[in-house]
Amino acid sequence: MTQDLYNIIVGIAGAAIGWMMKVVWESVRALQTDMKAIERELHTVYVPRSEMKADIQEIKEMCKAIFERLERKADK
């Protein structure tokens, strides 16, 4: 009787662990598929050079204005 009970408990525990491993494996596979899609998209969505130059120029102008204000404050 004890051996049968032990076998049943081990069987149920093994089935539960196997089911959990199957669920985790499926999740890992889904994540791998998603990562592959993201990697494919990543290489196609670059910022054009002209757009980047315009943004950098805007940032430089902002910095220049800030430095000019600081210089005027320092002169007072």
Residue-level pLDDT at 9: 94
Same domain, residue pair 15 and 38: yes
Residue 72 banded pLDDT, cuts 50, 70, 90: confident
Residue 76 banded pLDDT, cuts 50, 70, 90: low
Mean pLDDT in residue range 48-71:
92
Per the structure, the count of domains in the chain is 2
Same domain, residue pair 41 and 75: no
Residue-level pLDDT at 49: 85
Same domain, residue pair 21 and 38: yes
> pLDDT tens digits for 26-49?
999 999 999 998 888 877 777 788
Question: How far apart, in Å, are the Cα atoms of 56 and each of 4, 15, 41, 49, 65?
Answer: 75, 59, 25, 10, 14
